[in-house]
Amino acid sequence: MSECYEYVPHRLLYRRVRDIASGVEGVLMAVINENVSDTGIERWMELAYIRNATGREFTTAATNVEPAPHQPQTVAGRRDQRSA
């Protein structure tokens, strides 16, 4: 079994994304082509590493990643924009 892996470019890298499988949102930290097999037969898959609000990262299939919906602004955020 090969232990090699390869980083894959992704248009949403370092942006806020949503995992459609779980509904969890976070920042896309990396997409890596990895051998996910635990047998002697290799099975390669592009895994997305997403860091959630607590700072913990989880993986999901790269095809499950979509841009996160826009978050409503806080009152402080709107106030800061007016003063700029």
Strands 5-7 and 57-61 turn out to be: unpaired
Q: Is residue 37 pLDDT above 70, yes or no?
A: yes
d(C-alpha 73, C-alpha 78), whole Å: 7
How does 33-54 read in b/e, with b if 16+ C-beta sit within 10 Å?
Answer: ebeeeeeeeeeeebbbbbeeee
More confident residue, 42 or 84: 42
Q: Which two tokens stand for residue 44?
A: 């390669």
Q: Measured at the alpha carbon of residue 69, what is the angle toward residues 68 and 70, in degrees to the nearest 5? A: 115
pLDDT of residue 5: 82
Per-residue pLDDT for 77 more than 60? Answer: no
pLDDT of residue 40: 85
